[in-house]
Amino acid sequence: VLQNLIAQQESKTASMLESHRELQFFYERDSTQKDQYICALAFKEREIEKLDEELIAVNTDRNSKIEAIALLKNNEQEFQDEIEYLQDMISANAK
C-alpha cells in the first residue's frame, strides 16, 4: 500500500515538473503574457512543494511502521528466550 502511495506521489511530482517545463517554454517564447506565466509557474511550484511534503509524510509514516515491526520482533524474541529459560528451569527441577 505504501509503495503504491509513493509511486503515485512520484508520478504526480513528475507530471507537475513536466507542466512546469512547458510553462517555462511558453513564457520564454511569448513574453507578452509574462505576468500570467509567472503566476502559473509560481502556482505549479507550490503544487510541487505540497506533493513533496505529502511524500515526506508517507515516508515518515512508513519508517515509523518499520520501526514498530522491528520492535515487535525484538519483543517476540525476548519472550521466546524467556520461555526457553523457564522450560529449562522446569526440566532441571523435575530431575
* pLDDT tens digits, one per residue of 53-79: 888 888 888 888 888 888 999 889 999
Q: With bands split at pLDDT 50, 70 and 90, how would you rate the model's confidence at 30?
A: low
Q: DSSP readout, 27-47?
A: HHH-GGGHHHHHHHHHHHHHH
Burial of residue 5 (CB within 10 Å: 0-12, 13-18, 19+) is: middle
Cα 63 to the chain's mean position, in Å? 8
- Tell me how far apart the alpha carbons of residues 52 and 59 are, in angstroms, rounded to a whole number: 11
Mean of the per-residue pLDDT values of the chain: 82
Checking if the pLDDT of 28 tops 70, the result is no
pLDDT computed for residue 13 by the predictor:
79
Extents of the domains making up the chain: 2-94
> Is the CB of residue 44 less than 8 Å from the CB of residue 25?
no
pLDDT computed for residue 3 by the predictor:
76
